[in-house]
Structure 1
Amino acid sequence: MRKPERFRRFLDYFTTHFPEPQTELRYGNPYELIVAVVLSAQCTDKRVNHVMPALLEQFPTPAQLALASADNIFPFIRSISYPNNKAKHLAGLGRMLVDDFGSEVPSTIEELQRLPGVGRKTANVIVSVIYNQPAMAVDTHVFRVSHRLGLVNKTATTPLAVEKELVRYIPLVLIPKAHHWLILHGRYICVARTPKCEICPLKGFCKYYITNFGQPAAEDLNAATTPSI
């Protein structure tokens, strides 16, 4: 199967069954989302959602976060992975939002990457979710699933290489949604250690499945139902 056909089937499936995917991080405004995304690096959304209410009660705005030190922030995020580094990032992020951006979360990838703790992946999440720009954030789920499905080449060995291949074949209007589709599929079905291939609705065109289990049954070639994710 040629790559354009794989993308067509991938997009057809999710636009039909999950037309409006959403991030699982809870947020009420751009400031809350950027804080949550910084905390979510190598940490589950569930854990981030657990600590965010108390953190935001103490630091509800960029101005209040800007007045905090890393030591002030640490107790609220101690259960998050790498809390020391993330506390330092958030303290610096608050100050820069106030001093350089008038307490507003910037809308460009270049400006976002100036903020402490914000790399390209985080910047892509912000511009995609908040500003609906055609940016593809590549985390471990997106990287894994796109390779297993055969959407990207084996030579795409970096997140940026995967990002470039994905955006080449996905229509601009669907890129923000495709980011969520790949993440959610990787989080609940195409998991890292033991992918749930037996219930995967995409195995009819999945390279990983064909390599490991052979050609799928006829009924899987045009699967029309999905397990809940």
Structure 2
Amino acid sequence: MNAAHRHALFARLQAQNPNPKTELVYHSTFELLISVILSAQATDISVNKATVKLYSVANTPQAILNLGADGLKGYIKTIGLYNAKAKNILQTCQVLVDKYNGEVPHERAALEALAGVGRKTANVVLNTAFGEATIAVDTHIFRVANRTGLASGKTVRAVEDNLLKAVPPEYQQHAHHWLILHGRYTCTARNPKCASCVIAEFCEFKEKNLVMPNKAG
């Protein structure tokens, strides 16, 4: 995809959604961190259903440590891989209390050193909480970047690196959320909604279907 089309693509996404936000519900950087850890291989909806109850009783590292493993699992047992996630969250909370006075560190290396926090989770926190121009490549962004020709790559890291080069600077802050929401609701894995896609004219997907579906009646 050429530079003019990349710029026009993001201009369209911005016009459609000027201030995109994560669909995870949180009220502090710490809550965001825990929600993103929980969201691995789980939907934002399932995470929000669990955390609305969890955060009402424990929304600081020390408060979650006070719950203990069994107490924490009671709140997140509806989320996939909850046993491993509970272990990681407790370890992360202990580090936050011991090393960072209960605060979430701003530095990538410090974030990635926390249990359950990889590059993708760190990118989400850095972008959403700290306003950095990072892009956390999940399955949706990986699909959209490759399918549209915006930033092709065979690995998650390759797509991330290529997106950072491809996205015009003025759109880098919100690119992560525009692309994930586009992949979640329009450029879906099966039956992408090409006919109603605002960036279809710039998309290089060879199999795109621009025929409007027939309506009954």
What's the TM-score, normalizing by structure 2? 0.91
Quote the Cα distance in structure 2 between the aligned partners of 1:26 and 1:48. Answer: 9
Change (3 A) 1:45 1:213: closer
Q: Deviations over 1:8-46 (max 9, x none)?
A: 121111222211111111111101100111111111111
Does 2:202 match 1:205?
yes
Determine helix, strand or coil for the equivalent of 2:25.
coil
Determine helix, strand or coil for the equivalent of 1:207.
coil
Does 2:41 match 1:42?
yes
Quote the Cα distance in structure 1 between the aligned partners of 2:84 and 2:2. Answer: 40
- Matched to 1:167, the amino acid is L
Deviation of 1:55 after TM superposition, in Å, equals: 1.0
Q: Deviations over 1:161-210 (max 9, x none)?
A: 111111112234422301000000011111112211222122112111xx
> What residue number does 1:227 align with?
none
> What residue number does 1:7 align with?
6
Contact 1:68 1:91 survives alignment (8 Å): no
- Identity over aligned pairs, percent: 39
Q: Which has the higher contact order (CA 8 A, sep 6+)?
A: 2
> What residue number does 1:103 align with?
102
Alignment RMSD (CA, Å)? 1.6
Quote the Cα distance in structure 1 between the aligned partners of 2:158 and 2:178. Answer: 19
State which of 184, 189, 192 in structure 2 corresponds to 1:187: 184
Determine helix, strand or coil for the equivalent of 1:212.
coil
> What residue number does 1:221 align with?
none
| Structure 2: segments with no counterpart, 5+ residues | 212-217
- Matched to 2:130, the amino acid is Y
Aligned residues: 211
What's the TM-score, normalizing by structure 1? 0.87
Quote the Cα distance in structure 2 between the aligned partners of 1:192 and 1:142. Answer: 11
Q: Deviations over 1:84-119 (max 9, x none)?
A: 111111111111111111100011111100111110
Q: Deviations over 1:49-75 (max 9, x none)?
A: 111121112322111123343322111
